[in-house]
Chains A and B, each alone.
Chain A
Amino acid sequence: MSSTWSTENQQRAEEVLGKYPEKRSAVMPLLYIAALEHGYVSNDAMREVAELTGLTSAQVQSVASFYTMYYREPVGKYVVSVCTSISCYLRGADDVLAAIEEEAGVLDGETTPDGLISVEHVECSGACGGAPAVSVNWELIEGLEPDKARDLIKWLREAKPEVVFGDEMQLLFGGRPSFDWGPKEIEGAIAPLPAFSPYGTAKGEKR
């Protein structure tokens, strides 16, 4: 076990390793935990995952580099991902991206100098019925129009939420969803990675 990790993250790693018949299969979840530990998938992070899975660092690097969600450079506290695939494009996603870039003061693929917000365009987010769709640390907002997108960026800057909840953002900034979301979620994101236990989520009672 990588002894430099927090006890909590070591426990997370152990839980993940127990879920697969072969250690190698845990490389993807472990990369998320390593990202939680380091803030992004650094070289150290990949070395530690290699140790845990019995792979070489090069093998882990070749896996990590295949996927888009393992950020190998530091990213902002909030990664704002704007879907610009076909259904969102047809419903004005390019204007949403432009509004977000302007409000955040950075271009697609960049991070604000204070390290708070990264902006990226992504392919289909599975929210095409609620286009245009945007997510913050993979917590979704549907039906986000350009004006509200600006408000979202302002809110992130001012409120700096420690935990990001999709339901809260949808209520504040969203529009028509793909479908009725049903009950509110009790867990949210604490870092720019999918908020899924055991990779790291926080529970909270949010409006």
Chain B
Amino acid sequence: MTDKILLSRMEAHPADSNTIARYLDTGGYTALRKALSKMEPADVAAEVKASNIRGRGGASFPTGVKWGFLPPDTRPRYLVINGDESEPGTFKDRMLLERDPHQLVEGIIVSAYALDVHQAFVYIRGEYPKPARRLQRAIDEAYEAGYLGDDILGSGFDLDVTVHLGGGAYICGEETALLSSLEGRRGEPRIKPPFPAIEGLYAKPTIVNNVETISNVPWIINNGGATYAAIGPETSSGTRVMSLSGHVNKPGDYEVVAGLTWRDLIYDIGGGILDDRELKAWVPGGASAPWFVPAEHLDTPVTIDDIAKQGSMIGSGAVIVMNDSTNVVGAAHRLVRFFSHESCGQCTPCREGTTWLERILARILDGYGRPEDIGLLLDVSDNISPGLRWPPAMTTICPLGPSATAPVVSMMRYFRDEVEAMIPGGHGEVADGR
């Protein structure tokens, strides 16, 4: 079973897949009717758990398990949808919001019913006014149709949904920073525990899920959790929207079932390498992920666990492809500059470390690299994330700081000779690389 779940409507009806008329015409809001009329909230949660779906926002945490963390008695509870999508390489939630917003709205209502939530928020990055408009229009249509508001479809269940726009800060995608931001504070991550499910928005139990994760919920309720779980490998169930960008001939969002190989993804789906050049490396799961290279990884399967076993992550599903024209120091610099710019500044290793890494890479790029810079890059990385392992050791409140070492360590592991060749005075005498 390889049918598309999330993109089928927009592909079949490109002209109006975002409207309520088209949504209803293609089976929309049947999951809501089914849930409200035939299922108890616990049954809905049980189906989501049975689907084995793992979060699509980056951490791949099992959604049903997360939902189970809510303390049984505390009210109110909140549901917050994470549409902050700012990890370089990622552009899937934007498509889901613009092209099929009702799918998400229905997912929100059904999930809120399962979780006994009466107020949900969708946090959308500030640079996404169009996705926010499309979603707001869908929400307005849902209110008019009686799918939102008081006594939804006569069930006695009430729900309001508020769309909140960010102000341009990647870190607000991290769930605790997102909640701080939604409370009207600086978007600074908080120390976990407590996890949001216990103490989240306004210190109340809060479930934070990604746009794509919740967009799957209507299908899961219509078809059953077990049916969803049967798609793809056991621990990477369902479909996933992968964002392909960089040096491929056909960049775009593609809905795939896990288990295909990187070769399938990059050469078949992505149409091969731009300008008929050789593939040099790719980032398998967003800017934070350690790189993969053809000699080691091209014929390995794309699943959450296979990628993790090989020392990287599927993350947000963003694949950034680099061909052999790529200057690896330039690429690493761009990635590190991003983390340096987006560091919230609370933790010294992250704030200082990312700034140093950026500066050292910039001077190598400008031709002013020093032989000791090779060792220095690894040393600074090691100070941010001791041992330079993956998943990274944490010295910081959130994983942003440690993530910033991934491009540097990857560059050194696979392309150290190219870095050395860019440093005047030649091949250094320097510290151990990995």
Chain A residues, Cβ within 8 Å of B87: 124
Segment at the interface with B among A5-13, A86-94, A103-111: A86-94
A47 to chain B, nearest CB (A): 16
Tell me the complex Cα distance, A181–B342, Å.
29
Chain A residues, Cβ within 8 Å of B93: 126
Check if B166 is an interface residue, CB within 8 A of chain A: yes
Q: Which of A58-76 contact B (CB under 8 A)?
A: 62-64, 66-70
Tell me the complex Cα distance, A138–B169, Å.
15
- Asked if B136 and A90 make an inter-chain contact with CB atoms under 8 angstroms apart, the answer reads no
SS class, residues of chain B in contact with chain A:
mixed
Chain B residues, Cβ within 8 Å of A32: 165
B287 to A, closest residue via Cβ? A86
- Asked if A189 and B88 make an inter-chain contact with CB atoms under 8 angstroms apart, the answer reads no
- Asked if B15 and A67 make an inter-chain contact with CB atoms under 8 angstroms apart, the answer reads no
Tell me the complex Cα distance, A194–B283, Å.
30
Check if B334 is an interface residue, CB within 8 A of chain A: yes
- Asked if A194 and B186 make an inter-chain contact with CB atoms under 8 angstroms apart, the answer reads no
Decide: A87 near B129, CB < 8 A? Known: A68-B168, A129-B253: no
Check if B71 is an interface residue, CB within 8 A of chain A: no
- Asked if B165 and A178 make an inter-chain contact with CB atoms under 8 angstroms apart, the answer reads no
Segment at the interface with A among B29-37, B103-111, B240-248: B240-248
B227 to chain A, nearest CB (A): 27
Check if A148 is an interface residue, CB within 8 A of chain B: no
Check if A26 is an interface residue, CB within 8 A of chain B: yes
Check if B252 is an interface residue, CB within 8 A of chain A: yes
- Asked if A126 and B90 make an inter-chain contact with CB atoms under 8 angstroms apart, the answer reads yes
Q: Please count how many residues in chain A sit with their CB below 8 Å of the partner chain's CB atoms.
A: 61
Check if A166 is an interface residue, CB within 8 A of chain B: yes
- Asked if A126 and B253 make an inter-chain contact with CB atoms under 8 angstroms apart, the answer reads no
Q: How many A-B residue pairs have CB under 8 A?
A: 198
Q: Which of B245-269 contact A (CB under 8 A)?
A: 245-247, 251-253
- Asked if A19 and B162 make an inter-chain contact with CB atoms under 8 angstroms apart, the answer reads yes
B78 to A, closest residue via Cβ? A21
Chain B residues, Cβ within 8 Å of A86: 88-89, 246, 283, 287, 320, 331, 334-335, 338
Segment at the interface with A among B62-70, B149-157, B177-185, B392-400: B177-185
- Asked if A24 and B183 make an inter-chain contact with CB atoms under 8 angstroms apart, the answer reads yes
- Asked if A139 and B130 make an inter-chain contact with CB atoms under 8 angstroms apart, the answer reads yes
Check if B102 is an interface residue, CB within 8 A of chain A: no
Check if B322 is an interface residue, CB within 8 A of chain A: yes
- Asked if B186 and A129 make an inter-chain contact with CB atoms under 8 angstroms apart, the answer reads no
B120 to chain A, nearest CB (A): 12
Contact with B along A148-189 (1 / 0, CB 8 A): 000000000000000000100000000010111111010101
Tell me the complex Cα distance, A195–B89, Å.
24
Check if A78 is an interface residue, CB within 8 A of chain B: no
- Asked if B165 and A63 make an inter-chain contact with CB atoms under 8 angstroms apart, the answer reads no
Tell me the complex Cα distance, A32–B163, Å.
14
Check if A2 is an interface residue, CB within 8 A of chain B: no
Decide: A66 near B14, CB < 8 A? Known: A87-B246, A196-B136: no
Using a CB–CB cutoff of 8 Å, the interface residues on chain A facing chain B are 19-22, 24-29, 31-32, 53, 55, 62-64, 66-70, 81, 84-87, 89-91, 122-131, 135, 138-140, 166, 176, 178-183, 185, 187, 189, 194-197, 199, 201
A/B interface sample: 19 pairs, CB < 8 A = A19-B162, A25-B182, A28-B165, A81-B127, A86-B331, A87-B251, A90-B331, A91-B247, A123-B170, A126-B90, A127-B91, A128-B318, A138-B129, A178-B252, A180-B99, A182-B10, A194-B165, A196-B163, A201-B133
